[in-house]
Amino acid sequence: MLRFVNWLRLNIDGVVTLLIAATVILLEVLDKTNAGSNLVSGAILLVLSLLAVTILRDRNRIARLVQESAAVRMLYGAEIDQAHARARRTTDRWIHRGGTGTFLRVTTLPYFLERARAEHQLLTVQVEILDPGNEQLCQAEALYRNSLQPRGDANGRPWTADRIRKQSYATVLACAWYRQQSEFLTVDLALSSALTTYRWDMSDDVVIMNQRGANTPALLFEHGKTQYSDLARELAVSFKQGRPIALGRDTELRPPSEPTIVQTRRVLDQVGLPLPSVYTDDDVVEIVEYALRPVNTF
């Protein structure tokens, strides 16, 4: 409905011309007394109608050409999730850069595991998230999120540095857990020491950028445009500057069985991310919950 209203607003002159012409033609058809004069005026109105149709058609064609040639497209609301879904279907490689990787755990990793199993195809997911070992960085992330969500997340919970750390630990655990379930799925992971206000997702065809937790439109850059290559280079350089995490397949994880408290601690120890000594078993259970049953908090 909104698209129709926008189209009508942009083409109101042509629409009005068509309506007037159609009305007059109809009246003259019904008026049988002035057949001679009506013939000329009817022909004029017919020409005007054809002209209006041509104008509307050309405007639509020009609008399509502009959209196709644009370097960047803006996505709103449901269009963002739809663009992500289309991009995931056909790509062999997915690159994600963001905060704690919530969307990655909710959607991306489960989807690519399912594809790897169904298609027996080699797929790669490259992940760059915040380093949970960097307490100052996690505190800065918590402050940023609270500025976006003064009333807390979707469940009303405020963001804290500890919660940010647990979310990032959960993404590391999720990457190891999903990678362990298929030889066809490779997950490369690096931890960033810098906060980013954008979430980046890149496929073979597009790069999608959107402000994390903001109600602003997302930006979509298509392959073949200069901006796509520039952003691909940016993501590659950023990943190389991150702290690499080696996710081996010889871990103690045994999917589909969920990792135990002991296994979770050992896996994070093995990748060089030992949990803080103050973390209790309840804290570890919370991390496992974030990893395997995540909830979108925005």
DSSP class of residue 154 equals T
DSSP per residue, 81-137: HHHHHHHHHH-SEEEEE-SS-HHIIIIIHHHHHHHHHHH---EEEEEEEE-TT-HHH
User: Quick one: tokens of 151?
Assistant: 């009333």
What is the pLDDT, as a whole number, of residue 296?
78
Higher pLDDT, 246 or 20: 246
Cβ of 100: how many Cβ atoms within 10 Å? 27
Whether 213 contacts 219, CB under 8 Å: no
- The residue assigned the tokens 């960047």 is 72
Confidence of residue 92 (pLDDT cuts 50, 70, 90): very high
Minimal CA–CA distance to 177: which of 194, 189, 165, 166? 189
- Quote the CA–CA distance of 115 and 184 in Å, as a whole number: 9
Q: What's the pLDDT band for 257 if we cut at 50, 70, 90?
A: confident
| Mean pLDDT, the chain, integer | 85
The answer for residues whose C-beta is within 8 angstroms of residue 168's C-beta and 6 or more apart is 100, 101, 129, 130, 131, 132, 138, 191
Residue with tokens 């919370």: 286
Classify domain 73-292 by CATH architecture.
2-Layer Sandwich (3.30)
Domain boundaries, the chain: 2-69, 73-292
The C-alpha angle with vertex 185 and arms to 181 and 188, in degrees rounded to 5, equals 110
Tens of pLDDT, residues 214-240: 678 999 999 988 899 999 999 999 999
CA distance 20 to 45: 9
| Number of Cβ atoms within 10 Å of the Cβ of 14 | 18
Q: Count other Cβ atoms within 10 Å, centred on residue 261.
A: 15
What are the Cα distances from residue 265, in Å, to 6, 76, 204, 260, 268? 55, 41, 35, 9, 5
Res 289 pLDDT > 90: yes
Query: Quick one: pLDDT at residue 43?
Result: 55
Q: Which of 71-80, 117-126, 144-153 has the highest mean pLDDT?
A: 117-126
Largest CA distance in the chain: 99
pLDDT at 118 (0 to 100): 96
